[in-house]
Structure 1
Amino acid sequence: MHVTFPGRHGADPARAVDGVDLDIRPGEIVALVGESGCGKTTLARSLLGLVPPTAGRVTFGGKPLGYSSRALKAYRKRVQLVLQDPSGSLNPRHTVYDAVAEGLRIHGYGGDEQEAVAQALSRAGLRPPERFFLRYPHELSGGQRQRVVIAGALVLEPELIVADEPVASLDASVRGEILALLLRLRAELGLSALVVTHDLGLAWNIADRVAVMYLGRIVETGEVERVLTAPQHPYTRALLSVLPEAPGDPVVLTGEPPDPSRIPSGCRFHARCQILASGEAERAGVADACRGEDLPLLDGGGRAQVACHWARAVRT
């Protein structure tokens, strides 16, 4: 899939998602990890039908996503979004009950609305649910507000949740509770989830599989334990090196990620790559390839893969 945005004042288009193939299986949690600006939120929005792809397509259950209002309405009953900031997600004038019931009303739910809202709040860990019905967002803690947002997603009984930085705005003491909740919901309801995050520690705690994204492409993917204990791509190594429990000194990347309207030739990470800068790529005989030879896209399967000339040369 590709998603491009027009450049300003005649500039080249920005390639926010520049060729991504990603599968999410039933009952699987996939973490999409990368720096701010790497394209992961645009990819998540495309999966929800909010940003149509410029090329490629989104499929769900083997069927291509349609973009008519009727098709999108049916799709969004099965795929729900959980945003980063619960305060921004909730209307301050709506009670908790109305916030959770909104999806039911949009989709013309024909059952017992109060029972459905109570069940969703209870699943999200707000018990007894009736105690929260008439409260407003400002009367809740940050963790409780995020649980209300999750309840609003759960009330339609979706098959997939796309969670964009779901705990980034929460205190450390609450983060673990929300992550445990997501894992429990997967176990009880068979939910699938795409968790978008810049935090590899979060990915380690919640995901089955991780996809590391840089400048519009996935550069390394595989089972979370394998990728995070034996990272192959220099970018993944740099991200992991700043975790408190990481051995050795943190890798300080030079410069900022390139402008997505001017993606460099060769490996898109080569201008900031510590392996190329240290001479290791030269000794492996791949320095010229790093600077000038593009890498093929990784396929969306679950096996461990890396888009790096040096990692491939060392591995072989």
Structure 2
Amino acid sequence: MTGAQTSAGPVTTGRAPLLESRGLHVEFASRGRRARAVDGVDLAIGQGEIVALVGESGCGKTTLARTLLGLERPTSGSVVYGGTPLSHRPRALKAYRRQVQLVLQDPMGSLNPRQTVYEAVAEGPRIHGLAGEREIVASALARAGLRPPETFFRRYPHELSGGQRQRVVIAGALALDPKVLVADEPVASLDASVRGEILALLLKLRDELGLSALVVTHDLGLAWNIADRLAVMYLGRIVESGPVEQVLTAPRHPYTQALLSVLPESPERVVLAGEPPDPTRIPAGCRFHPRCQVLASGRAAEAGVDGRCRSEPPAVLPARPGPQAACHYAAEARDAQITRDPG
């Protein structure tokens, strides 16, 4: 995979794209330099599709999610919803946030301990001036699996279990009847016994309401169980994407292979050298090359791509549903396979 660091633009088939990032860059000032938190991302979420965004802490996942929610302004590029670029004018953002809602990982942190469940779920409908508040709250709680909903109206967060609190957070999002949920580590703070229940709820909401979702996580097992498609992020950029089963059973990018190697069933553990680089000093060439096990082992040199790994940045991956990897070695291996087996 070669070429300059320019985006080919979103190209999707199958499900129509509902929420997209196009050539997205987000930078922050850091110690007199610019940190490239999101550094050229094309990503599309189709109608009724769940996309998992995975990667190490600090890779830019949360910044990308916040930008898709309109909470951060892109330095360049755009967020597109329903074919229309997102405007950051207050009135436009308010209307947009009825359609795209956030579900946070820590329900105790996102719920006001002094508010009842009713007040927490009613907050969004009140901000947006929706009529029939009581019916909206009851319906949202019921859809989130808290039944009968009226029995939860007067309860406070500390009176609920962790799973029930997360359902209240989800109900607060559902009260606005959104089309997309952005869930940031939605089960990370929950006991293993209730994680499956929340994941099953998200799948049920997708099936019954046609909701789309972006699930931000470092947990590949969660991605396997919930996502239709997977995007792997490293140092501000998507380095591999595709249908979740294809990416997790036949990963092409060395970084994805390293992430998968920590799973118990993995035959071989890959230990990456060092920490992720400083986003104010992204390496030349492939941004993963200083830690790449394929380059370090000499396999990239054997394939004749080691020089390109160190000097030539792979192109930005377009937002298309098929499997793809931003890796010179993977591209060379793919081309060699096609040459051997052209049929």
Instruction: State the Cα distance separating 1:236 from its structure 2 match.
Output: 0.3
AA of the residue aligned to 1:119: S
Partner of 1:221: 241
SS of 2:193's partner is helix
Partner of 1:241: 261
Tell me the percent identity.
74
SS of 2:260's partner is helix
Supply the distance in 2 between the matched residues of 1:250 and 1:133 (Cα, whole angstroms).
49
Supply the distance in 2 between the matched residues of 1:269 and 1:147 (Cα, whole angstroms).
38
Instruction: State the Cα distance separating 1:127 from its structure 2 match.
Output: 0.8
Q: 1:270 aligns with which of 289, 294, 306?
A: 289
Supply the distance in 1 between the matched residues of 2:220 and 2:198 (Cα, whole angstroms).
16
Supply the distance in 2 between the matched residues of 1:115 and 1:315 (Cα, whole angstroms).
55
CA displacement 1:262-281 (0-9 Å, x = unmatched): 00001000011111111111
Supply the distance in 1 between the matched residues of 2:170 and 2:296 (Cα, whole angstroms).
44
Partner of 1:196: 216
AA of the residue aligned to 1:69: P
Partner of 2:47: 26
Partner of 2:87: 66
AA of the residue aligned to 2:292: C
Q: 2:77 aligns with which of 47, 56, 59?
A: 56
Q: 1:205 aligns with which of 225, 241, 244?
A: 225
SS of 2:151's partner is helix
Instruction: State the Cα distance separating 1:249 from its structure 2 match.
Output: 2.1
> Unpaired segments of 5 or more residues in structure 1?
none
Segments of 4+ in structure 1 off by > 3 A?
Answer: none
Partner of 1:288: 307
Partner of 1:149: 169
Q: 2:147 aligns with which of 112, 124, 127?
A: 127
CA displacement 1:213-232 (0-9 Å, x = unmatched): 00000000000010000000
Partner of 1:4: 27
AA of the residue aligned to 2:263: L
Root-mean-square deviation over aligned CA pairs = 0.6
AA of the residue aligned to 1:196: V
SS of 1:114's partner is helix
CA displacement 1:262-313 (0-9 Å, x = unmatched): 0000100001111111111111111111111111000011111100011111
Supply the distance in 2 between the matched residues of 1:284 and 1:7 (Cα, whole angstroms).
38
CA displacement 1:43-89 (0-9 Å, x = unmatched): 00000100010000001000010111100000000110000100001
Residue 103 in structure 1 maps to residue 124 in structure 2: yes
Partner of 2:96: 75
Richer in strand (by share):
2
Q: What does 1:167-186 align with in structure 2 at a 5 Å threshold? A: 167-186=187-206
AA of the residue aligned to 1:58: V
SS of 1:21's partner is strand
> Unpaired segments of 5 or more residues in structure 2?
1-23, 336-343
Partner of 1:43: 64
Instruction: State the Cα distance separating 1:7 from its structure 2 match.
Output: 2.1
Supply the distance in 1 between the matched residues of 2:314 and 2:220 (Cα, whole angstroms).
24
Residue 17 in structure 1 maps to residue 38 in structure 2: yes
Supply the distance in 1 between the matched residues of 2:51 and 2:183 (Cα, whole angstroms).
10
SS of 1:313's partner is helix
Q: 1:301 aligns with which of 320, 323, 327?
A: 320
Instruction: State the Cα distance separating 1:315 from its structure 2 match.
Output: 1.0
Aligned length: 312
SS of 1:30's partner is strand
Supply the distance in 1 between the matched residues of 2:56 and 2:256 (Cα, whole angstroms).
11
Supply the distance in 2 between the matched residues of 1:149 and 1:158 (Cα, whole angstroms).
14
Supply the distance in 2 between the matched residues of 1:278 and 1:177 (Cα, whole angstroms).
42
SS of 1:23's partner is strand
AA of the residue aligned to 1:121: L
Instruction: State the Cα distance separating 1:175 from its structure 2 match.
Output: 0.5
Supply the distance in 1 between the matched residues of 2:262 and 2:282 (Cα, whole angstroms).
26
Q: TM-score scaled to structure 2, two decimals?
A: 0.90
